[in-house]
Amino acid sequence: LPSLLILDIIGVRKSRDRLRVSGEVGFRCLRMFFYYIQDEGMELMFAAGSMPKLEKLRINVDTDEIKLRTSDALNFGMDNLPCLITVECALRGRVRSALEAARDAMVRAAGTNPNHPSLIFV
Residue-wise pLDDT tens digits, 47-106: 899 899 999 999 998 887 666 655 556 778 899 999 999 999 999 989 898 889 889 888
pLDDT the model gives residue 8: 92
pLDDT the model gives residue 26: 78
pLDDT the model gives residue 114: 93
- The answer to whether residue 79 is domain-embedded is yes
- The answer to whether residue 70 is domain-embedded is yes
Residue-wise pLDDT tens digits, 15-54: 566 666 777 777 889 999 998 876 555 577 888 998 999 9
- The answer to whether residue 1 is domain-embedded is no
- The answer to whether residue 107 is domain-embedded is yes
- The answer to whether residue 68 is domain-embedded is yes
The domain in which residue 104 lies consists of 6-121
Could you give the number of structural domains in the chain? 1
DSSP the chain: -TT--EEEEEE-S--SSEEEE-SSSS-TT--EEEEEE-SSPPEEEEPTTSSTT--EEEEEEETTTS---STTTT---GGG-TT--EEEEEEE-S-HHHHHHHHHHHHHHHHT-TT--EEEE-
